[in-house]
Structure 1
Amino acid sequence: MLNRRHIRIKVMQSIYAMHQSGSDVLEKQEKFLQASIENIEDLYLILLSSLIEIRNKEIQYIEIAKQKHLATPEERNPNLQFVTNPILVALAENEAIQSALEKRKINNWQINDDTILMLLQVVKQSELYEEYMGKNAVTFEDHSTFVAEMFSELIAPNEKLYSYLEDFKLTWVDDIPVVNTLILKQLKQVSEKKNIVSIPSIYKDEEDKDYAIDLFRKTVLNESALAKEFLDKTPNWDMDRIAELDTIILKMAICEFLKFPSIPLKVTINEYLELAKEYSTPKSSIFINGILDNLVKDFQSNNRINKAGRGLM
């Protein structure tokens, strides 16, 4: 589910939170980091289950409308194309999803069904829904395309849903785009032969899981030494004039240079420049790039970089 860039973001945020709180308890902050990463699975399940719950609400609406004393012909014989959509049905009947929801105790949409009702209304008022429900000869591809577009165009970008998720857990702000992209990719991969969505692992492998903790520990435990590496390269800058996120990014990058022999130098530089562009000041990436470039030259001339494997320099 997570790539290395997002792991770096999580580590950066955890170190920043540690600085802001004034805490020096490594174990406490490490647990915060692990929880922040593991909670991404909850976000994934909440967003994926929104599709299930939207369908459930429509089924309830159809049943209630049928029971009306003065039900219209359309209410007595409703168009069931939406609730019988094979992808939505498969999601609702997916035992792995239901088991994960129970295990993680995900009940957001039972407690906050007004959000689901709002999303259902948005879907039913859309041209996408109207066009889909008006089709007579519907192929599996039509069903699949509708669900993917419903998620990407109507659910994922919904501001009220975004606000709800942000209020529920602030650490999800940077995770929402990642999870939305993953779910959309999964929905687009659904086929008539394989219409089961599998719940992905948080980490690609154990190596990535270890990398998250190692990067956090090695950066935090060596902050003073890592800071000295770049302070010598910024004689005209006081520490107070350097943005705090810039110092964290520099420390993490230098930590990777010196303490992660399997990560290529170019990868480290490119990844942290992207973080600077996205999270720090407008000029941060230029400032950081200059320092890292000088440091690499200095480290290499003094044989301080030991990268294992081909093409890692």
Structure 2
Amino acid sequence: MISRRNIRVKVMQALYALESFDAFDLKDAEAQRKKGLQLLTEKFVNAAELFNVSMLYLARIAQYAETDSRQRSSKYLPTEADMNVNTKLAGNLYLWDMLENATFQERISEDKLDQKVEMDRVKKTYQHLCTTEKYLSYIQNDDRTAAEDKAMLYFIWKEEMAHNEDFQEYMTDTFDGWEDDKDMVMMLVDNFFKSPKSVNFLQFISGEKNEYARSLMTTVLERDQVLMELIEPKLNNWDADRVATIDLILLKMGVCEFLYFPTIPTKVTINEYIEVAKNYSTPQSGQFVNGVLDNLLKELSQENKIRKIERTKN
């Protein structure tokens, strides 16, 4: 489900978190490796939960149309409007494709995700949705098409959740790690709308990608001294201690991929770490990481230390 770039971000975050631990707590390389892998696993688990909770919120907001109809019609003195609440949204075809996904149902049950969804927040979001022109236009048409239903559900996600300042503030205040993971969650939800049938909610990361993540994490830790010996001469009069911690971590990861991951093209490595640096470090970090990795690649190539395996095309 997640991409290689997402994995690089999680490894970077785990390595950054590892920096905060006292050296006394990590007495040897094995202790450091175990702690690093533990942190990495926690990063994946947390990101997966945030994605699943976001999807469940989306579902519960759409389903709230039926709750609203039931509650209003049961008033002691309901008005005509109370007796005729439109419930078209609750029957949204795209919504039910998601709700009937067996892996989604299992994930909700296993992780008790409904306990993490606040119905007051669902109600508030739904009530605001009901004031929008998009929603009013949607319910005025009695006919139903899959394309229209998809567009409506995507509108809720984009305008009432992802781009809604109030909803985003709520997510930040309620869920640990939301600020770190929200860009990834937004990308994953967008990917769901592009290809809903391919999403397996029980497999946030494939076995192959998990192996890549763990290998990248442990190799950076085990080869730290070698990596620093290569990087430090290329810092252009910058003391390594003055380089942003995230930038230094990304440089180590990039050089690690150059030397120890033969199936990853060097161009892919450089481009990926430039983008991660721009998104997660300082405004100048993308250019900085690009310059250092490019210089290192030239030197390592001249010394014949870069050994890549070309993938054959079928």
Q: Report the equivalent of 1:16.
A: 16
Q: Report the equivalent of 1:237.
A: 238
> Which stretches of structure 1, 4 residues or longer, exceed 6 Å deviation after superposition?
none
Q: Please show how residues 193-272 of structure 1 align to structure 2 within 5 Å.
A: 199=201, 201-203=203-205, 205-234=206-235, 236-272=237-273
Q: Report the equivalent of 2:159.
A: 153
What is the CA deviation profile of residues 112-164 of structure 1, one whole-angstrom value per residue up to 9, with x for unaligned ones?
A: 22211121112112111111111233433322321222222222222233233
Q: Report the equivalent of 2:148.
A: 142
Which of 177, 184, 191 is the matching residue for 1:178?
184
Alpha carbons of structure 1 residues 21 and 263: separation in structure 2 relative to 1, 3 Å: same
For the residues of structure 2 that align with 1:155 and 1:80, how far apart are their CA atoms? Answer: 20
Quote the offset at 1:197 in angstroms.
6.7
Quote the offset at 1:271 in angstroms.
1.0
Aligned-partner residue type, residue 304 of structure 2: N
Gaps of 5+ in 1: none
For the residues of structure 1 that align with 2:69 and 2:236, how far apart are their CA atoms? Answer: 71
For the residues of structure 2 that align with 1:48 and 1:58, how far apart are their CA atoms? Answer: 17
Q: Please show how residues 117-128 of structure 1 align to structure 2 within 5 Å.
A: 117-128=123-134
Q: Is the 8 A contact 1:12 1:248 kept in 2?
A: yes
Residue 286 (structure 1) aligned with residue 287 (structure 2): yes
Gaps of 5+ in 2: 27-31
Q: Is the 8 A contact 1:262 1:309 kept in 2?
A: yes
Which of 98, 102, 106 is the matching residue for 1:99?
106
Alpha carbons of structure 1 residues 269 and 136: separation in structure 2 relative to 1, 3 Å: same
**Normalization by structure 2: what TM-score?**
0.87
More helix as a share of residues: 2
Q: Please show how residues 270-309 of structure 1 align to structure 2 within 5 Å.
A: 270-309=271-310
Q: Secondary structure at the match of 1:36?
A: helix
Q: Is the 8 A contact 1:249 1:272 kept in 2?
A: yes
For the residues of structure 2 that align with 1:288 and 1:140, how far apart are their CA atoms? Answer: 45
Residue 4 (structure 1) aligned with residue 10 (structure 2): no
Length, aligned pairs only: 305
Q: Is the 8 A contact 1:187 1:197 kept in 2?
A: no
**Normalization by structure 1: what TM-score?**
0.87
Aligned-partner residue type, residue 201 of structure 1: Q
Quote the offset at 1:12 in angstroms.
0.8
> What percentage of residue pairs aligned between the two structures are identical?
33
Aligned-partner residue type, residue 166 of structure 1: T
Q: Secondary structure at the match of 2:88?
A: coil
Quote the offset at 1:174 in angstroms.
3.7
For the residues of structure 1 that align with 2:298 and 2:193, how far apart are their CA atoms? Answer: 46
Q: Is the 8 A contact 2:65 2:86 kept in 1?
A: no
Quote the offset at 1:198 in angstroms.
5.0
For the residues of structure 2 that align with 1:102 and 1:148, how far apart are their CA atoms? Answer: 24
